[in-house]
C-alpha cells in the first residue's frame, strides 16, 4: 500500500512539473509571435511560418471521380474510384459501396491490391507502347509501292507476292527495327492485308485471337464480331496459355463452372493446392484469412514456402509436378477407410446419384488372353433399337437385379424420346456400386502404371467382380476405380499392396512419399481429416487450385486426381465444398446478348471457331520439330492405335472426322468453292458436314452432366 501511494505522489509531481514547463515555454516567445494552442498546449498553430504544401495538394487534386476497374486479365474485377484532373488519372482508391452480403459473413469490400492502386503508373509509364509501330523495311517497301500504284491492296499484294521482298521483311523479324507510324497508315496497311488475303486465299486463312472476354467484353466482342463477319476463324485462348483445366470438361462436361471466392467462407476444411492466394488472388484472400476464425482448417500444398503458407495450419511441400501422386494416395485412403472398411451413407448416396461409378463397363479380351476395361455397356448392347440407345450407358439396379439405363444419360439429351428425362432423379432405381457379393465371379484386368521407366510397358494385374450381361463380362466403374487405386478386397485375385507402408505398389501413401517427399503418415492423416470433415458437414470441404498445379503437361491427370477426392466425399456442388479453380469464377454477366454480338449470330451462323493450340502447332510448323511419336504417351494396355503415328496425324484425323473444328477447311479459297456451279440435279451442301462422334469410354469418375459441344468449320 505504501509503495502504491509513493508511486501516485511521484506521478502527480511529474504532471505538475510538466504543466509548469509548458506554461514557461509559452512565455519564451515574443508577444507578437505568440499563437493559439490546443487546450492541452501540446500543439501550437504558427501562422507566421509558411509551409509550401502546394505541390503536395496539387498531386492529390482532382476535379471529378469515375468508377472503373483494371481489365488486365485479372479475375478480381475490383471496383475502383478513380480521381481525374484535366482528363488525367491522379490517383485511385477502392470503392466501398458493394452490396452487403448480410450480417452472417464478411463483406466483399474493400477489394483491390497494390497493383491496382498503382495502375496509373502503368498507364502513364514512358515505356508503355501508345502508338502503332511497323517493321522499318516493310514500311519502306509499302510506302514505295503505295505511291507508285496508288492502291493499298495492290501495294500489299505486290510486296507479299514477290519472294525476295517477302524474304526481306520476314528475315527482319526478331531483330528490332520497328518504327512509329500514324494510326491512319497502320490501319490502312492492316485493312489492305485483310482484303488481299481474303481475295487471294480465302477468309479462313485469317485468324483472330484475344484473351478472355471477361477481361473486356466490349473489345473482345468487337474483334470477334469483325472476324465472324468476314468469315475468319476466331481462335480459342483458354487452352493456348494453359489456363484451361481440361479435366473440367473431361469430368463435368462443362468448363470451369466454379464458385465465387465468397464460398471459401462456408468451407470447414480448405486446401490451397498450388494456389498462392495472397499474391495471385489478393482481393479474395481475406475470405480464407477470416474463415480461420470460425474454425476452418487450412492446408497449403506447395513446393515452396509461398505467401499463402503463413496462413496454413499445415504445409505439405511435394516436389514440383508430383501433386497427382499425393492426391491419388489420399484417394487410396478415402476409398479404403470410407468405402471398403467403413461406410458413410452420405458418400454412398452421393456417388450413386451424381457420378458414373455405378455404370457397367465391358471387359475386353486381348490376344494374349488378358482383359482390359473397354466401353460402357449401353442400352444398344441390351437390344434397344432406339436411335440414341448407343448413348445410354446402363447400370445394375440393386432392387430388381437387372441392368437399366437411368434418366439423365447422354442419349436423353438430344432426342425426342428423352424429353422429360434430362435430369438425375433415380426414382425407384437403386444403383449398385459394386458387383462383389458372396459367390461372385471374378476376373483379372490389366491396368497401366506410368510411374516406372524401363524398356517394356509397365502394367499391374488386379481382380474385379464380374457378371455376364448381353453375352459379355462387365464390372462397375467403382470396382475398376478400387482396382486402379490398389484397394484390396477379400476374394479378389491379383497383385495388391500389403498396406499403406507398401512403397512398391501404386497409390499407397508410402508409394507417393518416394515420389513427392511428403511423409506417408501426414498424407494419410490429411486424407482422413478431409473425408471426416466432408462426412460431418455433408460436403463442406474445398480445394482451391492454382496455376502451380495446372501449368503442367499432364495437368489433366493431376486435376482428375483432385476431383476424384471431391466426388468421392460428396463435396462437388455443395456450398463451401468442391473445387475452386483460379479462373472461371469471373462471368460475362450479359452473356446472352454478348454471345450474339461477338459471334455475329444476328448476321451469319455458325461463326468459324478453332482451338488455338493445334492451330499454332500446325500452321507455325512446330510439328516439324516434334520428334516424339504419339505412341510415346499411349497406355501400355491400349490397342496400339497411335503406333507409328505423329501427333499431327492425330490432329488431322480429328479434323477429318469432325471431332474438332479446323481451319482452313478447304485446299482452295472458300469464295471460289462457293462460286462453283452446283452439279446437275443437285445443290451444294447447306450446312456443315455431319459430325462423327467418338465412342464413349470408361474414365472414372465423372459427373453426369451435359456433354461438351463443338462446331465444324
Residue 26: pLDDT above 70?
no
Total-model pTM: 0.85
| Confidence (pLDDT) at 34 | 61
| Confidence (pLDDT) at 110 | 84
Alpha-carbon distances of 45 from 26, 39, 117, rounded to whole Å: 12, 12, 34
DSSP-assigned states of every residue in 349-388 = HHHHHHBSTTBEEEEEEPTTS-EEEEEEPBTTTTT---TT
Give me the domains of the chain, ranges plus CATH numbers. Answer: 1-47 (no CATH), 60-123 (2.20.25.90), 133-209 (no CATH), 357-484 (no CATH)
What value does the mean pLDDT take over residues 393-417?
93
Average pLDDT over all residues of the chain: 88
How many angstroms separate the most distant Cα atoms in the chain? Answer: 122
- 177, 137 Cβ separation under 8 angstroms: yes
Tell me the C-alpha distance between 366 and 28, whole Å: 106
As given in the structure block, the three cell numbers for residue 117 are 492502386
What value does the mean pLDDT take over residues 544-549?
90
What value does the mean pLDDT take over residues 86-103?
91
**Phi (first) and psi of residue 259, to 5 degrees:** -75, 165
Which of 40-44, 285-289, 570-574 tops mean pLDDT? 570-574
| Confidence (pLDDT) at 588 | 66
For 247-279, how does the pLDDT look when each residue is reduced to its tens digit (9 = 90+)?
988 998 887 778 888 899 999 999 999 999 999
- 356, 507 Cβ separation under 8 angstroms: no
- 541, 534 Cβ separation under 8 angstroms: yes
Of 157 and 387, the one with more pLDDT: 157
Residue 166: pLDDT above 90?
yes
- 581, 344 Cβ separation under 8 angstroms: no
As given in the structure block, the three cell numbers for residue 472 are 459379355
Residue percentage of the chain with pLDDT more than 70: 92
Tell me the C-alpha distance between 653 and 647, whole Å: 10
From first CA to last CA, the distance across the chain in angstroms is 95
Amino acid at each position: 500500500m505504501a509503495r502504491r501511494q509513493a508511486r501516485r505522489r511521484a506521478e502527480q509531481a511529474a504532471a505538475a512539473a510538466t504543466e509548469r514547463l509548458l506554461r514557461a515555454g509559452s512565455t519564451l516567445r515574443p508577444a507578437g509571435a505568440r499563437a493559439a494552442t490546443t487546450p492541452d498546449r501540446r500543439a501550437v498553430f504558427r501562422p507566421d511560418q509558411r509551409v509550401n504544401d502546394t505541390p503536395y495538394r496539387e498531386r492529390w487534386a482532382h476535379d471529378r471521380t469515375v468508377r472503373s476497374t483494371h481489365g488486365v486479365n485479372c479475375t478480381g474485377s475490383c471496383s475502383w474510384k478513380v480521381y481525374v484532373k484535366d482528363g488525367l488519372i491522379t490517383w485511385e482508391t477502392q470503392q466501398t459501396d458493394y452490396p452487403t452480403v448480410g450480417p452472417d459473413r464478411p463483406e466483399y469490400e474493400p477489394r483491390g491490391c497494390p497493383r491496382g492502386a498503382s495502375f496509373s503508373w502503368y498507364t502513364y509509364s514512358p515505356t508503355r507502347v501508345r502508338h502503332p509501330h511497323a517493321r522499318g523495311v516493310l514500311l519502306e517497301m509499302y510506302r514505295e509501292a503505295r505511291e507508285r500504284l496508288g492502291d493499298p491492296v495492290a501495294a500489299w499484294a505486290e510486296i507479299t507476292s514477290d519472294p525476295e521482298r517477302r524474304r526481306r521483311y520476314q528475315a527482319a523479324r526478331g531483330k528490332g527495327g520497328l518504327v512509329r507510324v500514324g494510326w491512319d497508315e497502320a490501319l490502312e496497311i492492316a485493312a489492305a492485308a485483310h482484303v488481299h488475303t481474303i481475295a487471294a486465299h480465302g477468309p479462313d486463312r485469317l485468324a483472330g485471337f484475344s484473351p478472355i472476354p471477361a477481361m473486356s467484353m466490349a473489345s473482345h466482342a468487337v474483334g470477334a464480331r469483325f472476324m465472324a463477319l468476314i468469315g475468319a476463324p476466331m481462335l480459342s485462348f483458354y487452352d493456348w496459355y494453359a489456363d484451361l483445366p481440361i479435366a473440367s470438361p473431361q469430368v463435368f462436361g462443362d468448363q470451369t463452372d466454379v464458385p465465387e471466392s465468397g464460398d471459401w467462407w462456408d468451407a470447414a476444411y480448405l486446401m490451397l493446392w498450388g494456389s498462392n492466394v495472397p499474391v495471385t488472388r489478393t482481393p479474395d484472400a481475406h475470405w480464407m484469412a477470416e474463415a480461420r476464425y470460425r474454425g476452418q482448417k487450412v492446408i497449403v500444398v506447395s513446393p515452396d514456402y509461398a505467401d499463402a503458407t503463413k496462413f496454413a495450419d499445415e504445409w505439405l511441400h511435394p516436389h514440383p509436378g508430383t501433386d497427382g501422386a499425393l492426391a491419388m494416395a489420399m484417394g487410396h485412403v478415402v476409398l479404403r477407410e470410407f468405402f471398403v472398411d467403413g461406410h458413410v451413407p452420405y458418400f454412398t448416396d452421393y456417388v450413386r446419384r451424381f457420378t458414373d461409378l455405378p455404370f457397367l463397363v465391358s471387359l475386353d479380351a486381348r490376344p494374349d488372353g488378358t482383359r482390359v476395361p473397354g466401353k460402357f455397356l449401353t442400352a444398344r448392347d441390351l437390344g434397344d433399337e432406339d436411335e440414341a440407345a448407343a448413348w445410354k450407358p446402363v447400370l445394375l439396379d440393386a432392387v430388381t437385379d437387372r441392368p437399366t439405363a437411368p434418366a439423365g444419360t447422354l442419349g436423353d439429351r438430344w432426342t425426342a424420346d428423352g424429353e422429360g428425362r434430362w435430369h438425375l432423379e433415380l426414382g425407384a432405381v437403386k444403383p449398385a456400386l459394386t458387383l462383389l457379393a458372396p459367390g461372385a465371379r471374378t476376373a483379372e484386368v490389366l491396368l497401366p502404371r506410368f510411374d516406372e521407366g524401363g524398356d517394356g510397358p509397365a502394367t499391374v494385374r488386379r481382380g474385379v467382380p464380374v457378371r455376364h450381361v448381353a453375352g459379355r463380362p462387365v464390372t462397375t466403374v467403382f470396382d475398376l476405380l478400387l482396382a486402379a487405386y490398389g484397394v484390396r478386397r477379400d476374394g479378389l485375385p491379383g497383385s495388391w499392396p500389403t498396406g499403406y507402408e507398401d512403397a512398391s505398389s501404386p497409390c499407397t501413401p508410402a508409394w507417393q512419399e518416394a515420389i513427392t517427399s511428403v511423409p506417408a503418415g501426414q498424407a494419410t492423416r490429411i486424407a482422413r481429416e478431409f473425408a471426416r470433415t466432408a462426412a460431418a458437414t455433408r460436403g463442406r470441404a474445398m480445394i482451391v487450385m492454382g496455376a502451380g498445379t495446372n501449368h503442367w503437361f499432364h495437368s489433366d491427370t493431376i486435376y482428375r486426381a483432385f476431383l476424384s477426392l471431391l466426388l468421392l466425399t460428396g463435396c462437388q456442388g455443395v456450398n463451401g465444398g468442391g473445387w475452386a479453380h483460379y479462373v472461371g469464377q469471373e462471368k460475362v454477366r450479359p452473356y446472352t446478348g454478348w454471345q450474339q454480338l461477338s459471334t455475329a449470330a444476328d448476321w451469319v451462323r455458325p461463326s468459324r471457331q478453332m482451338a488455338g493450340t493445334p492451330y499454332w502447332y500446325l500452321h507455325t510448323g512446330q510439328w516439324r520439330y516434334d520428334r516424339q511419336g504419339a505412341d510415346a504417351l499411349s497406355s501400355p494396355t491400349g490397342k496400339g492405335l497411335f503406333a507409328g503415328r505423329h501427333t499431327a496425324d492425330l490432329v488431322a484425323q480429328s479434323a477429318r472426322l469432325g471431332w474438332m473444328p479446323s481451319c482452313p477447311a478447304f485446299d482452295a479459297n472458300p469464295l471460289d468453292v462457293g462460286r462453283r456451279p452446283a452439279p446437275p440435279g443437285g445443290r451444294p451442301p447447306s450446312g456443315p458436314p455431319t459430325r462423327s462422334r467418338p465412342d464413349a469410354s470408361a474414365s472414372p469418375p465423372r459427373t453426369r452432366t451435359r456433354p461438351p459441344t463443338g462446331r465444324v468449320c
